[in-house]
Amino acid sequence: MGFDDKGLNGRLALAIAAAALGSAFQHGYNIGVVNAPGELIRTWINETHYNRTSEGLGKDTVLLIWSWAVSIFCIGGMIGGALTGVISERLGRKGGLLFNNVFAIIAAALEGFSASAGSYEMLIAGRFFIGINCGLNGGLAPMYLSEISPVHLRGAVGTVYQLVVTISILISQILGMTSLMGTAELWPILLGLTIAPTVFQLVVLPFCPESPKYILLNQGKEIEAQKALTWLRGSLEVHDEMDEMRAEYEAMKLVPKTTLKEMLTNQSLRSPLIIAVMMMLAQQLSGINAVIYFSTDIFNEAGLDSVTSQYATLGMGGMNVLMTVISLLIIERAGRKTLMLVGLGGMLIDVILLTVCLALKATATWIAYISIILVIMFVVMFATGPGSIPWFLVTELFAQGARAMATSVAVTVNWTANFVVGLGFLPIQEALGPYVFIIFVVFLAFFTIFTYKKVPETKNKTIEEINAMFRQQTYQ
């Protein structure tokens, strides 16, 4: 471990790029891409309906159809997330990633041709399929990345996925601008562009090997595993690493897998599970995706014209990338609980001020600009802690045998909450106007207090120490 000759080489970099760019890019791109052209697509939905039936739709109905198109992505995500286990076992990590592109191709075709076919149902179906693709990517790609990386690079490579997600959110927002592809003619191509990372992955990933761990631990093929590892390390001296993998295999067989029933009935597993679930809810119910999906609409609501709104959205996307980089750099040094509390507390104060600004927007034009700063700060505070800490906590609160089950529960909760926010935000904004964010004030206040009272600090603690804390409940 830690030898320079086993560090990053060209082939490993190629495999990382194939897996991360081809998968995380889909994930971020499709989160961000609905933001800028929202208004255009809503007009198109209405027109499409009018052409079919000679009747216009009410504003509420258009909003509802659009909200479904945005958020059905998350239902697909749940299904994809749930399929990760089966697909990664049956087809392998690389095989699963390659197979997953089928969903992306179906989705790109449905979305790209929805306008020419005059069907918003195709758009909704496309969002569903790309959701499945992203749910699977979110499980398979980090697995592949961590399994092909040498131990001392694992942390850094593990953060690549998240970073590419934020960068591709930004790219989707740039391409969605009115001066680029955010127009009534080009938006179907903007959505269909999700085919690009698929093509890249289908061209490059076949040259890379399957995860050596999968080949050894799941298929029991020693020689093939060694070949794959040799390819990735660019060195024949892989015996140490092979030995480590065998040892891990033996250790794995000794640890029984925890079932969901055990997790719910055993006190020392239930407490951390409740915390993990609450942190996922905190992440999504903070309202972050309301902002990421709909910031352009929010800026419009605050009184900015549509061009300025789009630039403000870009500023937000850029800050998101920057803060994600910073938080990844400090996460090992700062306490998890501290970062989570700072982030949630900051978002709480921010969203209170934002509500005031949106309510007062008619009184002075400069208030709209304060709203921009507040929305950007909201994303900054999110990236400080609530963006990444919940995922760290899930892995740190559980020992090997329980981690897989805890992760599945957490992923499901996360996509479900994301779905609820995506579906509910625009209709509720329509009903409550500027006071829509009060809902997030309530949630953020609750989760800030919960984190302060119930979440243990896991920094520099072993999993045994953490388990002991839960048994004795000394963490309060």
Ligand X SMILES: *[C@@H]1O[C@H](CO)[C@@H](O)[C@H](O)[C@H]1NC(C)=O
End-to-end CA, the chain: 38
Closest contact distance (angstroms) between CB of 46 and ligand X is 4
CA distance 102 to 126: 12
Q: 425 with 291: CB under 8 angstroms?
A: no
214 or 425: whose CB is closer to ligand X?
425
> If you search the block for the tokens 């995706």, which residue do you land on?
289
Closest contact distance (angstroms) between CB of 53 and ligand X is 11
Closest contact distance (angstroms) between CB of 60 and ligand X is 8
64 or 342: whose CB is closer to ligand X?
64
59 or 471: whose CB is closer to ligand X?
59
By CB under 6 A, residue 59 contacts ligand X: yes
By CB under 6 A, residue 50 contacts ligand X: yes
Closest contact distance (angstroms) between CB of 63 and ligand X is 8
By CB under 6 A, residue 52 contacts ligand X: no
The interface with ligand X within residues 323-352 (CB under 6 A) comprises none
Q: 128 with 134: CB under 8 angstroms?
A: no
65 or 393: whose CB is closer to ligand X?
65
Summary count for the chain: helices (H), strands (E): 22, 0
User: How many whole angstroms from its chain centre is CA 251?
Assistant: 31
Give the max Cα distance, the chain.
Answer: 73
Question: Stretches 49-57, 225-233, 281-289, 350-358: which one binds ligand X (CB under 6 A)?
Answer: 49-57
Question: DSSP characters for 203-233?
Answer: HHGGGSPPPHHIIIIIT--HHHHHHHHHHHH
3 or 50: whose CB is closer to ligand X?
50
- Kindly calculate the radius of gyration of the chain based on its CA atoms and give it in whole angstroms: 23
- Binding-residue total with ligand X (CB under 6 A): 6
Question: Stretches 53-61, 99-107, 333-341, 411-419: which one binds ligand X (CB under 6 A)?
Answer: 53-61
Q: 151 with 1: CB under 8 angstroms?
A: yes
By CB under 6 A, residue 71 contacts ligand X: no
CA within 13 Å, CB half, 23: 33
By CB under 6 A, residue 46 contacts ligand X: yes
By CB under 6 A, residue 7 contacts ligand X: no
Binding track over 228-267 against ligand X, x by CB under 6 A: ----------------------------------------
**DSSP state letter for 58:** P
Closest contact distance (angstroms) between CB of 85 and ligand X is 43
By CB under 6 A, residue 62 contacts ligand X: yes
By CB under 6 A, residue 56 contacts ligand X: yes
Neighbours of 79 (CB within 10 A): 16
Residue 180 backbone phi and psi in degrees, to 5: -105, -95
CA distance 163 to 25: 10
Give residues in contact with ligand X (CB under 6 A).
46, 50, 56-57, 59, 62
